[in-house]
Amino acid sequence: MRIAGRVALVTGGGGGIGAALARRLAAGGAAAVVIADIDRPTAAALAHEVGGDFHVVDVGDRCAVEAMVAAVLARHGRIDLLCANAGVIEGSGLPVAGDETFGGVFASDEAWLRSWSVNLMGQVHAIRAVLPAMLGRGEGHLLVTASAAGLLTDLGSLAYTVTKHASVGLAEWLAITYRGRGIGVSCLCPMGVRTSMLEAAQARGEAAHLTADAIDAETVAAVAVEGIESNRFLILPHPQVSAYFRGKADDPERWIEAMSRHRARLYGEWSPSPERPDGGEVR
């Protein structure tokens, strides 16, 4: 889908990748760029910057998303492009020696549910709200921001990894189902991107595997918009993800072994072996 003249809605558009997408879409000649974000000041600032409007909304709240989409349709008449981009990392944390219950599968139910609510259902709510009108017109494009964690694994957060896999599944199903009805679907799967999400993970000591290859949000937005305009399904701003994904599919045993070693090298591993009864760090 060509961006010029289109009406775009960007969730999580107040900061990070969403803000870079909004700027790129506006620069590409979009007729209107609407920012939907839970954070009022950033949403308002971005909307002012790109000459668009904004809505303060929690994408995990179905009724609020439906009301927001209805308001956008009432004002602009249509939504050509939905960037379902808002996402969170909750309940993350690398298991550390002496504390098996930190992060991972032991994250709280609240953290699991919040991850599910924002990272998956937030996208479902928005897509469900915009899709009927797109299908009625026989055209539209859905950009689903998943993550390389949805194709591979994020070492620092299990709930993030699981919900991003769900997001990739959502995008794939939609692409297959609606391709013949004029709806384009793209699935954006970056590795590390220098945003506040990565900064927070770095501050928690969980992002060592991401920082070396981290790229700017502006680069991600440029690759994403090129992918939308080419109607490409899988958008990989880090080209190496393609090789990793192929390697995982070709030899899953080798993949798990290599990732396990990589993880131990980066973060250390609690070993319950008899030689190390107190649980030492194995690197």
Ligand X SMILES: NC(=O)c1ccc[n+]([C@@H]2O[C@H](COP(=O)([O-])OP(=O)(O)OC[C@H]3O[C@@H](n4cnc5c(N)ncnc54)[C@H](O)[C@@H]3O)[C@@H](O)[C@H]2O)c1
Q: Give the C-alpha separation, 174 to 84, whole Å.
A: 13
Q: Would you count residue 21 as binding ligand X (CB under 6 A)?
A: no
CB nearer ligand X, residue 157 or residue 269: 157
Q: Would you count residue 88 as binding ligand X (CB under 6 A)?
A: yes
Q: Give the C-alpha separation, 142 to 131, whole Å.
A: 9
List the one residue from 108, 177, 196, 211 that touches ligand X (CB under 6 A): 196
Report the nearest approach of ligand X to the CB of residue 144 (Å).
Answer: 9
List the one residue from 198, 221, 228, 236 that touches ligand X (CB under 6 A): 198
Q: Would you count residue 153 as binding ligand X (CB under 6 A)?
A: no
Report the nearest approach of ligand X to the CB of residue 193 (Å).
Answer: 4
Q: Would you count residue 28 as binding ligand X (CB under 6 A)?
A: no
Query: Interface mask (CB under 6 A) for ligand X, residues 113-142, using x and -?
Result: -----x---x--------------------
Q: Would you count residue 237 as binding ligand X (CB under 6 A)?
A: no
Q: Would you count residue 18 as binding ligand X (CB under 6 A)?
A: yes
Q: Would you count residue 156 as binding ligand X (CB under 6 A)?
A: no
Report CA dihedral (174, 180, 181, 182) to the nearest 10 degrees: 90
List the one residue from 38, 107, 121, 223 that touches ligand X (CB under 6 A): 38
Q: Where does this chain touch ligand X (CB under 6 A) — which range of 32-40, 72-80, 90-98, 263-271?
A: 32-40
List the one residue from 83, 127, 193, 241 that touches ligand X (CB under 6 A): 193
**Catalytic pick among 160, 178, 244, 267:** 160
List the one residue from 170, 185, 197, 223 that touches ligand X (CB under 6 A): 197
Scanning residues 51 to 80, which ones bind ligand X (CB under 6 A)? 57-60
Q: Where does this chain touch ligand X (CB under 6 A) — which range of 31-39, 102-110, 246-254, 272-280?
A: 31-39
Q: Give the C-alpha separation, 115 to 133, whole Å.
A: 28
Q: Would you count residue 157 as binding ligand X (CB under 6 A)?
A: no
Known catalytic residue at 160: yes
Q: Among candidates 67, 16, 26, 9, which has minimal Cα distance to 198?
A: 16
CB atoms within 10 A of CB 102: 14
Q: Would you count residue 151 as binding ligand X (CB under 6 A)?
A: no
- The DSSP secondary structure of the chain, one letter per residue, reads ---TT-EEEEETTTSHHHHHHHHHHHHTT-SEEEEEES-HHHHHHHHHHHT-EEEE--TT-HHHHHHHHHHHHHHHS---EEEE------S----BTTBTTSSGGGS-HHHHHHHIIIIIIHHHHHHHHHHHHHHHHT-EEEEEE--GGGTS--TT-HHHHHHHHHHHHHHHHHHHHHGGGTEEEEEE--S-BSSHHHHHHHHTT--HHHHTT-B-HHHHHHHHHHHHHTT-SEE-SSTHHHHHHHHHHH-HHHHHHHHHHHHHHHH--EE--TTSTT-EE--
Q: Where does this chain touch ligand X (CB under 6 A) — which range of 191-199, 224-232, 249-257, 266-274?
A: 191-199
Which residues make up the interface to ligand X (CB under 6 A)?
11-12, 14-18, 37-39, 42, 57-60, 85-88, 118, 122, 145, 147, 190, 192-193, 195-198
Q: Name the residues annotated as catalytic.
A: 160
